[in-house]
Amino acid sequence: MNNYFIFVLKAALDDFSHNKGRTFLTSLGILIGVLSVILLIAFGLGLKKYVNDQFESLGANLIMVMPGSKQSLMRGGGFVGGIKFDERDILKLKKIKTINHIAGVFAKPGSLIKVDNKSEIVEILASDEEIAALFNLEIEYGRMIGKTDNQKSDKVIVLSTTLIGKLFDFPVEQALGKTIAMENQNYRIIGIVKSKGGGGIGGAGLDSHVYIPFKTAYTFNTDKKFLGIYLKTKTQDQVGETKAAVEKILLKRYDKDDFSVMEQKEIMDTVSSIFAVINTLLVAIAAISLLVGGIGIMNIMYVTVTERIREIGIRRALGARKNDILYHFLIESVILSLLGGALGLGLAFIAVFFIQKIFPAYIDVGSVVLALGVSSAIGIVFGVLPARKAAELSPIDAIRYE
């Protein structure tokens, strides 16, 4: 059996070597399909890892209170609601004994920060001195926002080392005391926090945040409301009871669908499920090219059978069985598919190697198995009909064929 398979394999490779151009073009459809599918899976895996890393860096005992219901997030609508929180909510929630840190946060994404001729897009987080403990921020140089900064509405700001490196050409520590422009105001840098890493396309995640006192943000947060409340429990085991206590207090003022109390695990699971749906749809669209590639293989195999009818007749006359002919052309079809799949996989690895410099995409074992498995399946499925046609040919008619 092994000798038979080696014979068929050599015969197939010999035929391919005489038709290099046709072989490559036939495999090209599978190559493009496999490359597209693997890259999309790699992007999906990378995006999921990136988001999970960002959440985990905040700590497992972090709880977020956001406007809107959990169902709206599950439907992909995000945290959308008509309510905003205020100081009254913070004061009431501070009475919960299991809470260790709590702060209201006003967020303004897509803001432009400028220094001389350089600029960066950032997300402003306006809060108080508790923000450092809530977000696990570590001061590299200078200090964090303090109570006095909030009381006086001082125009001070804290940035990450990543942002400082992009905005200034001199050593990071020398940026302390420098002035930057943002939201038509000048802010003095009082602190620089350590980078959390995990950069992404078009930004650096948590490293693109800048921190200012909450009352300083009144210039653009005119209704003086919070967009969310962040709190941390004393221990991870207290997360469940703290969530229940938070909900009980807020339900006295708001309706059930007006807000969501979520812990890290819930958000990570929700985000992962959304990514899974989106990635599945994208992979399904990319898989269309695999179908086109399979049709291309079937077409070429029909042509190959027609070109080799006399050869098939001679082999049948010399004692080859129908199954021998069937297996021969089926193996050729699978080899064509595997060739395209292997080339597509190789190109995907090369592409991901370069992509990883700006985004944490990666290829897992499942992707490799999927690529080679799908390639083999396409070769079998689309090679059956041409192979069967070859096997059913009458030896006498095949020899007489011109």
Angstrom CA distances, 331 to 7, 124, 295, 324, stand at 11, 60, 16, 11
Q: Tokens 């990450």 identify what position?
A: 160
Instruction: Check residue 273 and give its pLDDT.
Output: 76
Q: How many other C-beta atoms can be found within 10 angstroms of the C-beta atom of residue 347?
A: 16
171: phi then psi, degrees, rounded to nearest 5: -50, 145
Closest CA to 301 of 384, 366, 240: 384
Per-residue pLDDT of the chain in tens (402 residues, 90 and over written 9):
566 667 667 766 776 666 677 777 777 878 888 888 888 888 888 877 777 776 666 667 888 898 887 666 555 444 445 688 999 999 999 999 999 999 999 999 989 999 988 999 999 999 999 998 888 888 999 999 999 999 999 999 999 999 999 999 888 889 999 999 998 899 999 999 998 764 443 344 678 899 999 999 999 998 889 999 999 988 878 888 999 999 999 999 998 888 888 887 777 777 777 777 877 787 777 777 778 778 887 887 777 777 777 777 777 777 777 777 777 778 878 888 888 888 888 999 999 998 888 878 888 888 888 788 888 888 788 878 777 777 777 766 666 655
Instruction: Check residue 90 and give its pLDDT.
Output: 92
Q: SS3 of 104, please?
A: strand
Instruction: Check residue 235 and give its pLDDT.
Output: 84
Closest CA to 129 of 118, 142, 113, 145: 145
In SS3 terms, 66-78 reads as EECCHHHHHCCCC
Q: Domain segments of the chain: what residues?
A: 2-52+272-400, 84-253
Quick one: angle between helices 365-391 and 264-307, nearest 10? 30
Quick one: angle between helices 264-307 and 309-317, nearest 10? 80
Kind of pairing, strands 62-67 and 259-263? antiparallel
Query: Burial letters for 80-93: b for 16+ Cβ neighbours within 10 Å, e otherwise?
Result: ebebbbeeebbeeb
Instruction: Check residue 2 and give its pLDDT.
Output: 60
Closest CA to 111 of 133, 132, 129, 126: 126
Q: How many other C-beta atoms can be found within 10 angstroms of the C-beta atom of residue 267?
A: 20
d(CA 83, CA 7): 74
CB 81 within 8 A of CB 259: yes
CA dihedral 302→303→307→312, nearest 10 degrees, is -10
Instruction: Check residue 204 and give its pLDDT.
Output: 47
Instruction: Check residue 103 and give its pLDDT.
Output: 92
pTM as predicted:
0.61
d(CA 40, CA 322): 41
Let me know how many helices (H) and strands (E) the chain has, helices first.
13, 10
The region that residue 294 occupies, defined by phi over 0 for left and psi between -120 and 50 for alpha, beta otherwise, is: alpha
Considering only CA atoms, give the Rg of the chain. 31
Instruction: Check residue 202 and give its pLDDT.
Output: 37
